[in-house]
Amino acid sequence: MAKILKIYPDNPQENLIQEVVKTLKGGGIIIYPSDTVYSMGCNIFDIRAMERLAKIKGVKLEKAHFSIICNDLSHLSEFTKPVDTATFRLLKQYLPGPFTFILEANKTLPLAYKGQKTVGIRVPDFSIPKLIVTALGHPIATTSIKDEDDVIEYTTDPELIAEKYDHLVDIVIDSGYGDNVASTVVDLSQGYAEVIREGKGIFEH
């Protein structure tokens, strides 16, 4: 059964953040709030946790293409090829925010990402995932729990989310109702910006 932790962005309790981090380090899967929809995440360096996350989503890990949640842009060089000044300025303009930017991946990606030519980077404008990443010491893999074909209440209500994923995940962080609009996805991997999915973020470039 998933443990429900009530953690609110205006006053997050350090001991609860540490409990989430301990679960991630132990290979656990968490559901957490962001500046868009509720999402599932795990330790990016734990291949078994990544495989479990892919299984929950109903895809093979090599085809999952999970995005990476960072707390700022300092992690970019760990996962992506060097970006030019114009691209870095663009990223700084829109992040933190409700965007996923697809960039060219480098060859030092964690094992679960091997072979991927691109990777999605998220820096949410929401304290809880950023606190988790900071306390963990490195980014986490993430995927939205929103079903693109099914806009129903469980995408926003943490109690219904916990009910649905009770036996699949280890922790559900309840921060109150979430949004039901996913991030805007912008592909920067081809040398120009292309909006792949219109979401919560408004991209003007």
User: Which of 35, 36, 37, 27 is closest to 141 using CA atoms?
Assistant: 27
pLDDT score of 145:
87
Q: Is the alpha carbon torsion for 56, 70, 97, 80 positive or negative?
A: negative
Cα 146 to the center of its chain, rounded Å: 12
pLDDT score of 176:
94
| Domains recognised in the chain with CATH numbers | 3-197 (3.90.870.10)
Rounded to two decimals, the pTM is: 0.94
Task: Please name the residue ranges forming H helices in 26-84.
Answer: 47-57, 76-79
pLDDT score of 205:
75
| Average pLDDT, consecutive stretches of 10 residues, N- to C-terminus, the chain (205 residues) | 95 96 98 95 97 95 94 92 95 98 94 92 97 97 76 74 94 94 95 94 91
